[in-house]
Amino acid sequence: MAITKIKLIPKSLITDKANEIDSVKKIKIEGDKAYIDLLFNANRAWDSLRTFREERERCKNYTYGKQWNDIIHYEGRDITEEQYINEQGTPALKNNLIRRLLRTVMGVNRGQDKEPVCVANDRDEQKLGETMSIALQYNWKANRMNEIKGRIFEEFLISSGAFLKETVGWRNDRYDCWTDIVDPKRIFFDGNMQDIRHWDLSMIGEIHDLSFDELASTFARKKSDYAMLKNIYNNAVRRDFLTNYFDDIAERHKLKNIDFLVPEDTTRCRVIEIWTKETKVRYHCHDFLTGEYYKVEEDAIEEINRDNAMRIKQGTDEGMDPSDIPTIETEWFIDSYWYYRFLTPFGQVLDEGETPYAHKSHPYVIKLYPFIDGETHSFVSDFIDQQRYINRLITLNDFVIRASAKGVLMIPEEAIPDGMTPEDFAHEWTKFNGVIVYRSKNVSQLPQQIANKSTNIGISELLQVELNLMEDVSGITGALQGKPGLSGTSAALYQQQQQNASSSLLDILESFDSFIIEDSLKKVKNMQQYYDSKRIMTIVGAGAQGYVVYDPDKIKDVEFDLSIYESANTPTYRMIANDFLMEIWRAGQISLEQLLASGSFPFADKLLQSIRSTNEQMQAMQPGQANQPQGYDMQQVQQATGQPNANAVNQLSNAIRG
């Protein structure tokens, strides 16, 4: 039989069913075109959020005082409302109430001062939950999370979106888990989401503008990588070229939404980070010998089959029933997982890989509120119309006042003396001890000064209506803003008004709390994964529990739930804790030293230091010596510095936590 010579096709280029299921392998086989398509898909996701970014920009402008920037069509031109009003000879006035309302809501959120607390699912591991809670608080302080919470909550009110990113790395000579605010102008995600929890997200990413040095230090692993980056971003190295070449392009796309491919600063290098949900064939495995459940890649099934064959042979040789031999059972399935890519604007891959995080997801945490039918509605946007009308009313009132007669001097022409101009006459008229000499016989009418009141067109009444509507629409009443109550308003009614106003904000505050919980869950998973050595973590301040030893061997595999509780730093918490401590101290269950150490009292630290100093002196004294400290009764000192009562300490701890 003659052998026919045929052209061989590389196995990797043959698209079989496996490659159709493995989305990452399929893209790599298709090559550059597939990466360009991925870049275009990301661009479409970016464009789908254009309305969101424009509405956010508008709400931000109204929040920070740029309240006449809406575009109108006038005499064939598109101009801002401010330009139009200025062209009428009238200043565009504003009374920014939105900013005050936002500060009020932010103050309510700050006043709650809540913190996430870890609770182990296994009751036997509750002590580890306390350790993880302290570790989480320790990381929060390292990230200045209180300030991040404040700023991201403000963004949440303005744009209806909150975006954070949880990463791991070196910063400030410290390897840790870090939290960063993501600029809403730079993030993009799948616009087809419908789930209010955002669990149906399939794509998310961010655009980065880096200097060439930052780019090289991040993505260059060897000398050839540096040369490749320099070739791709040669324009970024040649700043003069970029400035001349891209200025007109950047100017066309700048507007309110930055361009997806072209950086605003032409000296920067644009990198697009894209996280997508991919699929591939994997196997669920259950090892009956160890009881372990896990999943493996498709190419690992041959090794598992060999291991099973060896176990069956060994069990058969030992006379075991074949059905009773502990083998590794496998189940074929299509796995869904997150995959990241860093692409250039030209489609080249700078870095890619499966998610390195133990939580098996992307590093972003997002919250859109309220998220109904794929749409969001900003808290600020609810009362922009009232703010617009208030600005128009005060501008109209200013116009009416300026158009009214205010001390106009009516001078008969014959009353002006010879050689004197009307301006000179008016100046002398208003001059202190001024004298105007004229011939009365020729004057039929004396000069007179006219001052008319502004025309009453009900502006004040309309303004008050809009101010009341602003409170009604926002739900932020004067009581919540700290305004004094009306005459005759009782203290109980005023307090009820404050409570009602707080209740109207409960939904948005609780939604933000859920966002913080989602972020903390990813942070805890990252800490369990990357805190791979023992650490001593110290927490200072009110409610501090001293220090704790973080042992990764004990904590890394523990499953935690997170809840949001009021911090020990809030005035309400401190008052309740102090009242309880005083009660058990009066009952003689704890010493004075314990009371001062556990409570939040004025001058507590100074008093505690004094007591401990006295205690040290007493311990150094021999019985019967006369050098007893002046002003102290020995019995009182001993009572104040006595040993802790374990039952009282446990009672206090349970009360504070419950």
Note the pLDDT of residue 644. Answer: 43
Q: Is the separation of the CB atoms in 166 and 355 below 8 Å?
A: no
- According to DSSP, the β-strands at 292-297 and 269-287 are antiparallel
Note the pLDDT of residue 637. Answer: 43
Nearest CA to 132 among 645, 586, 627, 527?
A: 527
Q: Is the separation of the CB atoms in 564 and 516 below 8 Å?
A: yes
Largest CA distance in the chain: 145
Highest mean pLDDT pick, 6-15, 84-93, 242-251, 448-457: 84-93
Q: Across the chain, what does the average pLDDT equal?
A: 80
Please return the burial class of 338, using the count of CB atoms within 10 Å of its CB with bins 0-12, 13-18 and 19+.
buried
The CA distance from 215 to 344, in Å, is 11
Note the pLDDT of residue 626. Answer: 47
Q: What is the tens place of the pLDDT at every residue in 482-537?
A: 555 555 555 555 555 556 556 778 889 999 999 999 999 999 999 999 999 988 88
Note the pLDDT of residue 499. Answer: 61
Mean pLDDT over 154-160 rounds to: 95
Q: Of 237-251, 292-306, 386-400, which range is least confident?
A: 237-251
Note the pLDDT of residue 606. Answer: 75
The CA distance from 517 to 407, in Å, is 65
Note the pLDDT of residue 571. Answer: 57
The CA distance from 267 to 253, in Å, is 16
pLDDT greater than 70 at residue 572: no
Share of the chain above pLDDT 70, in %: 77
Q: Which helix (H) or strand (E) holds 341?
A: strand 328-343
The CA distance from 569 to 146, in Å, is 12
As beta bridge partners, residue 273 has 206, 342
Model confidence at 17, in pLDDT bands (50, 70, 90)? low
Task: Specify the higher pLDDT residue, 249 or 354.
Answer: 354
Note the pLDDT of residue 374. Answer: 83
The CA distance from 481 to 57, in Å, is 26
pLDDT greater than 50 at residue 239: no
Mean pLDDT over 301-324 rounds to: 92
pLDDT greater than 60 at residue 240: no
Directed axis angle between helix 145-159 and helix 126-143, to 10°? 80
Mean pLDDT over 97-113 rounds to: 88
Note the pLDDT of residue 436. Answer: 74
pLDDT greater than 60 at residue 619: yes
pLDDT greater than 50 at residue 649: no
Q: With H, G, I as helix, E, B as strand and everything else as coil, classify residue 517.
A: helix
Model confidence at 57, in pLDDT bands (50, 70, 90)? very high
pTM: 0.75
Q: Of 23-27, 68-72, 631-635, which range is least confident?
A: 631-635
Task: Specify the higher pLDDT residue, 479 or 196.
Answer: 196
384-388, long-range: CB < 8 A, 24+ apart: 384/58, 384/59, 384/62, 384/98, 386/97, 386/466, 386/469, 386/470, 386/473, 387/62, 387/67, 387/96, 387/97, 387/98, 387/470, 388/67
